[in-house]
Amino acid sequence: MMKINLQHKRALVGGSTQGLGKAIALKLAKCGASVTLMARNEQKLKTVLNELDTSLNQKHNYLVVDFYDFSSFEKITTNYFKNNTIDILINNTNGPEAGGVFEKEIIDYQNAFDLLFKTTNHLTMLALPQMKLNNFGRIINTTSISVKTPLLHLALSNTIRSAVVMWAKTLSIEVATYGITVNNILTGIFDTERIKQLNKFQAQSKNISLEENLKLITDDIPTGRLGKPEEFGYLVAFLASDYAAYITGTNIPIDGGLIKSI
């Protein structure tokens, strides 16, 4: 039986007080990793911290950061890496506001770039030096199926996440000889607060009920349901493990078959 063992590994997980980020943190801790949570709500961070598995004597902690305030985010995370190193980096944030191309201004794209790209690049560059010295590292970016199938109501996400994917592919080539893998997970539709927000946005724009719009969403998914956050966590744990040492530079969909292309 394959058992994922991340004992003695240190992980930094963005957006980890709810949704996919929380599910990732819980699973990594369950596999033995020491986890540092990142989010802007300290009370929620403390709550999740108390939920993390400590049966293997892991030492978990958290960072209070606001991904929407890059200047502050940069200072806090840079200071963190002065005294800490990590083996596993999960680049995960909330998505930018929904809306189509004609509803967005250039400043919206800049803000989305700061949120999705600059934070990812910054954290990765801070983590890489020690990963190189250790000849081990796992960089996992939570992106979206929208980089393959653009979603009309997510112009900002479509655009900036595509940049993250190409950057990650480039990086993966340059760090592979150090035992560092870089992979993107193309996120489908999961039962999270983010999807509830998007469902509300879509329902209002179509002038239909939340229930009707959610049915339209799930009807389009071959498995006929939303993904469970813990299912996302399983994939991340595998990619973070030694079992995935030969997997790098990939874009892995987890979407219930929603992407119709190969």
At residue 52, the pLDDT reads 98
**pTM for this model (two decimals):** 0.95
Please give the average per-residue pLDDT across 240-250, as a whole number.
Answer: 98
Model confidence pLDDT, tens digit, residues 185-220 = 999 999 998 888 888 888 888 899 999 999 999 999
Spatial strand order in the sheet of 180-187 = 61-64, 34-39, 10-13, 88-91, 137-144, 180-187, 251-254
10-188+227-250 maps to which CATH number? Answer: 3.40.50.720
Domain boundaries, the chain: 10-188+227-250
Backbone dihedral region of 58: left (phi > 0), alpha (psi from -120 to 50 degrees) or beta?
A: beta
30 pLDDT exceeds 90? yes
Q: Is residue 9 within 8 Å of residue 88, measured between CB atoms?
A: yes
260 pLDDT exceeds 90? no
- Alpha-carbon gap, residue 183 to 111, rounded angstroms: 24
Give the highest mean pLDDT range of 208-217, 239-248, 253-262: 239-248
Which residue, among 151, 56, 157, has the nearest Cα to 112 in the 3D structure? 157
At residue 203, the pLDDT reads 86
DSSP assignment, residue 32?
T
Please give the average per-residue pLDDT across 90-115, as a whole number.
Answer: 95
